[in-house]
Chains A and B, each alone.
Chain A
Amino acid sequence: SQTIHQWPATLVQPVGSPLSLECTVEGTSNPNLYWYRQAAGRGLQLLFYSVGIGQISSEVPQNLSASRPQDRQFILSSKKLLLSDSGFYLCAWSPGTGINQPQHFGDGTRLSIL
């Protein structure tokens, strides 16, 4: 069966520090991968999605970037964190075949910027 792992589960970072959140999927090949941000426990905002290695689509202009160095690895990064980057970050995957496949989420990373 397929599983998705995100780490770390929680992170406290000072303003201006760099960020790297990692997400990996197991049990499938060539998945579509997604990064979302959720503020205050409501509403999911799509940040990035990827349909293959090295292919990244950005949904909103922001202080963050994403990379997909391997088929089942998706990384969310920032060079300098802002206070407004605080939130709950969720990684998700869906099968790469079939346009209507549902997305499945990881357990999220709660990021607090001080």
Chain B
Amino acid sequence: GQQLNQSPQSMFIQEGEDVSMNCTSSSIFNTWLWYKQDPGEGPVLLIALYKAGELTSNGRLTAQFGITRKDSFLNISASIPSDVGIYFCAGRIQGAQKLVFGQGTRLTINP
């Protein structure tokens, strides 16, 4: 089946640092989504990307849809304590109803 490789699995950073995480696949996707999940809650959509090369920002968050359509990255600038959580990428192959999820990146921030 289709797989998404999300890295890194974990990040431990200082408050104020920038963060970068990415997802790659051997399959071609026509949608990339980035979610954040707080403990005990459902994932919340952060950014949705629909075109190769698309670069979209949401506050301090920036995500890009890779030109090859096989990867995407998410950057967080000037991290703050409320950025702590698990970030998931998800992608949809052309014509598919289902999303494929990465395994998540757990972000921990030291004040």
Q: Report A's interface with B, CB cutoff 8 A.
A: 6, 32, 41-44, 46, 49, 51, 59, 90, 92, 99-100, 102-108, 110
Contacts and interface: CB of A to CB of B under 8 A. Distances in A.
Given A105-B43, A107-B41, A100 B50 contact: yes
A79 B75 CA distance: 44
Contact of A108 (B33, B35, B42, B50): B42
B45 interface: yes
Contacts of A107: 40-42
A99 B99 contact: no
B42 A42 contact: no
A32 B97 contact: yes
A7 to B, nearest CB: 13
Interface string B27-57: 0001101010101111111001010000000
B41 A100 contact: no
A81 B98 CA distance: 26
User: Interface extent on B, as a size class?
Assistant: 20 to 34
Contacts of A108: 40-42
Q: Which 8 A-B pairs have the closest CB atoms?
A: A105-B42, A44-B101, A42-B104, A100-B31, A43-B103, A102-B48, A108-B42, A107-B42
B98 A46 contact: yes
Contact of B86 (A42, A90, A99, A105): A42
Interface in B63-111: 86, 88, 90, 92, 95, 97-99, 101, 103-104, 106
B101 A100 contact: no
A102 B33 contact: yes
Contacts of A32: 97
Nearest to A9: B40
Interface core residue of B45, B95, B99 (most chain A CB under 10 Å): B99
A30 to B, nearest CB: 14
Interface in B11-32: 30-31
